[in-house]
């Protein structure tokens, strides 16, 4: 039976119930708060009352994550309708100012159920990549240029350079702020609580993996990006005085390998903590067709990436969260029947660095692995998503099963629980 709660007049939350930053750590309810989290981009989709919604599955997924110590979910708050086949459909916005209330109510339902389990959520409000429409779709709306799909063009450099034009497009920025206000100022239709008063929102996030452009971004492009981060984060704070704001950055990989740019984008007081992501296969450090021959190099680079960003956070005196990382299944294979020995080994390497440095008091505030696949299953022989298929952790621009952690991946789930328990035991 699907649990719901009727509309009630929600009492104002106590200020200590919100997640706050205390020097280089998070705090909640007077205690240290470390994130042992999952990426669950489709959570709001499952919460919809009709169409793509699967509320019974959503409750099961939340219960299963809670059971292994997951206390935070990173969720897509809004998507943009696009003609690109590698993007999810339906979308929250079908055109500027036109919203799918069914999907927005799905986000409401997710937040209501998260609250029952005392988990927290990071909600990202845009996407540098095309799989939810994102910035390239904004440019289609306001410049009339085709939304670019790098899955088709295979030209990521051009995609990144052109997509960064979003930051300069005045009409796109006005509409983006309209969307931010629509979500941030929303009142939950399940609980009656304004989102601004929901203590189970940890952070508003500007976008998934915003970049200044490609790896050859100019000084001018970098300056535009830094200004955009500061101004949009400030705008969100002007709407909501209770919640943290984060960028969604990948770290150096999303900053043209420019540490100064990364620091400049995150030193503003409008950004409350740093984020970074780790993708050894995507960045060609690891070849899953040659795991033995590339493992040592991949792990050496991963360790350096993990640790060096913690040092960058220390320079700014702010916490940092590793909010994405992943590796594929053995083989390599997308099949749920494939083992996960190499991925589990990688996860343990990552978790050990995070837990050890957190226990020492360094500014690492936790992790969100990519991504929770749960009870979802790939439906097609080629592993590509089509409308009507299950949602899994891999968005439509990637093969279904590439990085997902499914509910049958017992060794991975036990590993996550081991380190979640370790992080939750830290006291400050």
- Give the chain as a 3 state SS string: CCCCCCCCCCCCCCHHHCCEEECCEEEECCEECCEEEEECCCHHHHCCCCCCCCHHHHHHHHHHHHHCCCCEEEEECCCECCCCCCCCCCCCEEECCEECHHHHHHHHHHHHHHHHCCCEEEEECCECCHHHCHHHHHHHHHHCCCCCCHHHHCCHHHHHHHHHHHHHCHHHHHHHHHHHHHHHCCECCCCCCEHHHCCCEEEEECCECCCCCCCCCCHHHHHHHHHHHHHHHHHHHHHCCCCEEECCCCCHHHCCCCHHHHHHHHCCCCCCCEEEEECCCCCCCCCCCCHHHHHHHHHHHHHHHHHHHHHHHHHHCCCEEEEEECCCECCCECCCCCCCHHHHHHHHHHHHHHHHHHHCCCCEEEEEECCEEECCCCCCCCCCCCCCCCCCCCCCCCCCCCCCEECCCHHHHHHHHHHHHHHHCCCC
Question: What pLDDT does 122 receive?
Answer: 99
Nearest Cα to Cα of residue 126 among 92, 89, 87, 79 = 79
Question: Could you give all domains of the chain from N- to C-terminal order, each with its CATH number?
Answer: 23-425 (3.20.20.80)
Buried b (16+ CB within 10 A) or exposed e, 15-24: eeebbbeeeb
Question: What pLDDT does 5 receive?
Answer: 40
To 10 degrees, the CA torsion angle through 112, 114, 120, 125?
-60
Beta bridge partners of 368: 37
Nearest Cα to Cα of residue 73 among 43, 39, 42, 113 = 39
Question: What pLDDT does 14 receive?
Answer: 67
Nearest Cα to Cα of residue 389 among 397, 400, 398 = 400
Q: 144 — alpha (psi -120 to 50), left (phi > 0) or beta?
A: left
Q: pLDDT (tens digit, 0 to 9) for every residue of the chain, 428 residues total? A: 334 344 444 555 666 799 999 999 999 999 999 999 999 999 999 999 999 999 999 999 999 999 999 999 999 999 999 999 999 999 999 999 999 999 999 999 999 999 999 999 999 999 999 999 999 999 999 999 999 999 999 999 999 999 999 999 999 999 999 999 999 999 999 999 999 999 999 999 999 999 999 999 999 999 999 999 999 999 999 999 999 999 999 999 999 999 999 999 999 999 999 999 999 999 999 999 999 999 999 999 999 999 999 999 999 999 999 999 999 999 999 999 999 999 999 999 999 999 999 999 999 999 999 999 999 999 999 999 999 999 999 999 999 999 999 999 999 999 999 999 999 999 87
Cα–Cα distance, 349 to 228 (Å, whole number): 35
């Amino acid at each position: 039976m699907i649990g719901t709660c009727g509309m009630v007049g929600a009492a104002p939350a106590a200020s200590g119930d919100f997640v706050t930053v205390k020097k280089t750590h998070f705090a909640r309810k007077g205690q240290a708060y470390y994130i042992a989290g999952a990426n669950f981009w489709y959570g709001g989709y499952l919460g919809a009352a009709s169409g793509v919604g699967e509320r019974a599955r959503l409750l099961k997924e939340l219960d299963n994550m809670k059971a292994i110590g997951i206390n935070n979910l990173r969720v897509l708050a809004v998507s943009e309708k696009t003609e690109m086949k590698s993007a999810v459909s339906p979308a929250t916005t079908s055109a500027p100012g036109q919203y799918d209330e069914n999907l927005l109510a799905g986000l409401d339902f997710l937040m209501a159920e998260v609250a029952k389990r005392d988990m927290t959520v990071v909600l990202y409000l845009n996407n540098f990549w095309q799989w939810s429409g994102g910035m390239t779709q904004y440019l289609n709306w306001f410049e009339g240029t085709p939304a670019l799909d790098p899955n088709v063009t295979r030209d990521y450099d051009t995609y990144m350079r052109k997509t960064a034009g979003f930051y300069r497009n005045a009409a796109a920025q006005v509409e983006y702020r309209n969307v931010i206000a629509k979500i941030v100022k929303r009142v939950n239709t399940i609980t009656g609580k304004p989102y601004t008063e929901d203590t189970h929102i940890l952070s508003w996030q500007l976008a998934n993996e915003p970049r200044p452009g490609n790896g050859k971004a100019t000084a001018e492009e970098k300056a535009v990006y830094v200004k955009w981060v500061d101004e949009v984060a400030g705008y969100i704070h002007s709407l909501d005085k209770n919640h943290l704001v984060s960028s969604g950055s990948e770290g150096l990989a999303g900053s043209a390998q420019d540490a100064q740019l990364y620091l400049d984008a995150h030193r503003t007081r409008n950004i409350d903590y740093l984020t970074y992501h780790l993708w050894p296969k995507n960045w060609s450090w690891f070849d899953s067709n040659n795991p033995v021959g590339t493992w040592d190099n991949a792990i050496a680079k991963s360790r350096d990436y993990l640790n060096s960003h913690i040092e960058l956070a220390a320079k700014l005196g702010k916490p940092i969260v590793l909010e994405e990382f992943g590796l594929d299944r053995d083989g390599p294979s997308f099949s749920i029947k494939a083992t996960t020995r190499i991925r589990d080994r990688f996860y343990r390497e990552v978790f050990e660095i995070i837990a050890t440095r957190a226990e020492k008091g360094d500014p690492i505030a936790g992790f969100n692995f990519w991504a929770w696949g749960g009870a979802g299953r790939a439906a097609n022989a080629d592993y590509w998503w089509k409308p009507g298929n299950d949602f899994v952790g891999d968005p439509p621009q990637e093969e279904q099963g590439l990085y997902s952690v499914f509910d049958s991946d017992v060794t991975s789930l036990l590993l996550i629980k081991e380190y979640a328990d370790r992080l939750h035991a830290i006291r400050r």
